[in-house]
Structure 1
Amino acid sequence: MNALWYVGRGTGLVSILLLTLVVALGVANRCGRRVLGLPRFAVAAVHRSASLLGVVFVAVHVLTLLLDPDARLSVLDLVLPFHAALSPFWYGLGTVAFDLLAALVVTSLLRARIGPRVWRGVHWLAYACWPIALGHGLGSGSDAGSGWMLVVVGVCVAAVLGAVAWRFSPRFAEVDDRRAATIPRPTAGAR
């Protein structure tokens, strides 16, 4: 095993942890309430920072595996799914996740130009990107069958499923009574 393999392996693990945090915080930020005692702007800032850090770790993951001779990846394998010489299906899932992540990054950078509606529509791809990336890690990761990795995956799955279940629950839309009491209500004569 060489240093590139260890870096690729480690950055892949950190990437899935960061992407899990990003998905959960993205859901939490949509509720419009304090989450874990943090105001909405702080949750948004942590979400944005974790997103950027996750993209950096994914980029290092991809670059180190591209340079690792044991991975036998080409530049074409990074953009064309299911083309890799080694484990084409599992590496293909990684390519699909990478392509989806690239679309999320590009549209986030162009958000002011493309408008919030298009950006939001593309941003829903995060719900597809995360499980595809997780599947890639489980299928091609060298630690996928180890006990500690199964615990990490279980925690990640529980966090995302919990956030998504909360997002689609009736309780998600409820407004905190304390916050509702501080929001000024329009009077009958006001427009």
Structure 2
Amino acid sequence: MDEALWAVGRGTGVAALVLFTASVVLGIITRSGRPLPGLPRFSVTLVHRNVSLAASLFLVVHVVTLMFDPYALLNLLDVFVPFFGSYRPVWQGLGTVAFDLLIVIVVTSLLRNRLGPRVFKAIHWLTYAMWPIALAHAIGNGTNGVEGWFLVLSGVCVLAVLASFGWRLSSRFVEFRSVRLGEIS
């Protein structure tokens, strides 16, 4: 049973990383207002939300599973307060920081209509901090963190995020509001 908990904890952590990578990329595409091949613009937003939800659920399973794993020895303090863990406290603490940031992002996403677009957008930018912190946690604390297959997977994730972020910062990126108002030709 202990090995099953460890395997589920590792697997859901890797799945969460991949899904959060997809969520960051889809979030940037959503902001541009452009459709994906085969999907209208509004569907990109729905896919982004669903991928984000799936990533969050995988992360919750990752954390809860490791709380019951006798090897990981996570407790409630480790889950919410960074850098107090007994196993690789810095790397585990980075995971806790990423988890705490995710909680803030999810709560503000749920309260988006009450907070207003400026507050929501400002807090949602925390995703750009959460993702690399989570990646560092995965490499530094993960059982497979320095194995070849995981480093290749991490490299692909980094390239995807950097490419989309580079596009986001480029002059070729046009925000949805400009597209909707017909400000571009």
Taking structure 2 as the reference length, the TM-score comes to 0.92
Map 1:61-100 to 2 at 5 A.
61-100=62-101
Displaced runs of 4 or more, over 6 A = none
Larger Rg: 1
Is 1:101–2:92 an aligned residue pair? no
CA distance in 1, matches of 2:84, 2:175: 47
2: CA distance, partners of 1:72 / 1:34: 44
Identity %: 54
CA distance in 2, matches of 1:68, 1:36: 42
- What is the match of residue 186 of structure 1? none
Corresponding position of 1:19: 20
Corresponding letter in the other structure for 1:151: V
Give 2:157's aligned residue: 156
TM-fit CA distance, 1:34: 2.0
Q: Which amino acid aligns with 2:111?
A: L
Residue aligning to 1:132: 133
Deviation for aligned residue 1:174: 8.4
Q: Deviations over 1:14-72 (max 9, x none)?
A: 00000000000000111122233422111101000001101100000000011111002
The 1-side partners of 2:175 and 2:126 are apart by: 25
- The residue identity in structure 2 corresponding to 1:148 is W
Structure-1 separation of matches of 2:22 and 2:172:
21
Asked if structure 1 preserves the Cα contact closer than 8 Å seen for 2:33 and 2:175, the reply is: no
Over 3 Å counting, the alpha-carbon distance change for 1:117 and 1:18 in structure 2 is same
Contact 2:31 2:175 in 1 (8 A): no
Question: What per-residue deviation string (whole Å, max 9, x for no partner) do you get for residues 62-103 of structure 1?
Answer: 000111110021100111100001100000000000000000
Cα offset, 1:151, TM superposition: 1.1
Distance 2:9 2:47 in 1: 25
Whichever residue aligns with residue 152 of structure 1, its letter is L
Using structure 1 for the length normalisation, give the TM-score. Answer: 0.89
Query: In structure 2, do the counterparts of structure 1 residues 174 and 12 end up closer, same or farther at CA, with 3 Å as the change threshold?
Result: closer
Runs of 5+ consecutive residues of structure 2 not aligned to the other structure = none
C-alpha distance in structure 1 between counterparts of 2:138 and 2:34, whole Å: 33
How far did residue 145 of structure 1 move?
A: 1.6
Q: Which residue type is aligned with residue 84 of structure 1?
A: G
Amino acid at match of 2:107: V
- In structure 1, what is the equivalent of residue 117 of structure 2? 116
The Cα offsets for residues 103-152 of structure 1, whole Å up to 9 and x where unpaired, read as 01100111111111111110000000000000000001111121111111
Structure 1 unmatched ranges of 5 or more:
184-191
Q: 30-39 vs 120-129, which deviates more? A: 30-39
| Residue 2 of structure 1, CA deviation | 1.3
1:141-174 deviations in whole A, cap 9, x for unaligned?
A: 1111211111110110000000000000001128
Work out the CA distance in 2 between the residues paired with 1:2 and 1:174.
47
Partner Cα separation in structure 1 for residue 15 and residue 117 of structure 2:
30
